[in-house]
Structure 1
């Protein structure tokens, strides 16, 4: 049985794409799934985190990781999907050929959106790309600050982007919490190093919700 492929995509850099991919990968591995991560972002942030994790865990990161580029993406993802339950792709932050291939390979495209005007505008190319490739897209509110009027207004604008079944909005939200970056610095995730925190609860809820949608 072929595994599910989740491509994390967002045209705007700094939207938290890699952070989300890393934490979700660990959350799914903790649920007992065979997980593989694929880094096709030229910045290679997910690959650097995996190296830190491998050292921190004594060479037992708990999932498979590959870094690839361009034309090899489709074949490598298909190969990984045959041997794993879940494949998570961290795609580059631009509408390049690699991003299109990653979206095309996905069972579901996950687009993190911060409640900011720039993120709101920048997510439209990702929505368009998913539509062109006929792939469902799930918007995930990311780095949501404590309640504020402007944040609530922007969140309402994100809700307006939802157009089921092609474009959906996750019920689980990810807060603006230092634990997400802090745990990655040590090669871990919030569901490992900060298990009893709100951050861990958010990520576990999102991981389970995404699985429920496919």
Structure 2
């Protein structure tokens, strides 16, 4: 088995990397795929989420494999997990340090969450440059999209100017995501029929085809 490896990368903080990584992991796991989630961000947000998940669901019942690792071990950890899983997702640090470069280099696809605002778009450029240097394929995922269709349409047009793929599936600014994460779960599990869950499933299906 050889996994598809995704790095969730964005140098701007507050873009929703960890929340997106957890939700994509569960979207595939709930489709009976074997999924590994790797946290290489020193902030360890996903590690805290996973610890809460084990408390909520019980050890061995989390539906995914989880590793928190930094430094020189990161590349080898991802490589080993890729041998035994369908998907491996890496949550990266919000800066272009060595760990982030290792993750981007190892990835088949670099998923870059970006909120639809000019400031967030400009802040995404260093991540795009990092992907280019490491010869990795980037795709921008519009995240925390407010209910303002005109603004979103304008941002999609601007993103297209950078000649980078933009996922068609948009993720809205949904309270359901944060509420579920607080209990170590995802909106797919707590509110499976919600718009939030439908958006995540659509994005996961789209990314799996790349």
TM-score by structure 1 length?
A: 0.94
Q: Select 1:207's aligned residue among 183, 204, 208.
A: 204
Distance in 2 between residues matched to 1:30 and 1:150, nearest whole Å: 33
Hey, what does 2:195 align to over in structure 1? Answer: 198
Hey, what does 2:178 align to over in structure 1? Answer: 181
Runs of 5+ unmatched residues, structure 2: none
Distance in 2 between residues matched to 1:174 and 1:48, nearest whole Å: 23
Distance in 2 between residues matched to 1:126 and 1:137, nearest whole Å: 9
What is the CA deviation profile of residues 13-35 of structure 1, one whole-angstrom value per residue up to 9, with x for unaligned ones?
Answer: 00001110000000010011111
Runs of 5+ unmatched residues, structure 1: none
8 Å CA contact retained: 2:25, 2:89:
yes
Distance in 2 between residues matched to 1:108 and 1:140, nearest whole Å: 12
Hey, what does 1:26 align to over in structure 2? Answer: 26
Number of residue pairs aligned between Structure 1 and Structure 2: 209
* Ranges of 4+ aligned residues in structure 1 off by more than 3 Å: 148-152
Distance in 1 between residues matched to 2:31 and 2:117, nearest whole Å: 32
Hey, what does 1:14 align to over in structure 2? Answer: 14
The root-mean-square deviation of aligned C-alpha atoms, in Å, is 1.1
Hey, what does 2:92 align to over in structure 1? Answer: 91
Distance in 2 between residues matched to 1:11 and 1:118, nearest whole Å: 12
Distance in 1 between residues matched to 2:68 and 2:119, nearest whole Å: 29
Distance in 1 between residues matched to 2:199 and 2:151, nearest whole Å: 22
What is the CA deviation profile of residues 146-202 of structure 1, one whole-angstrom value per residue up to 9, with x for unaligned ones?
Answer: 0254444333322323x2xxx311010000111111111111111111111111000
Hey, what does 2:69 align to over in structure 1? Answer: 68
TM-score by structure 2 length?
A: 0.96
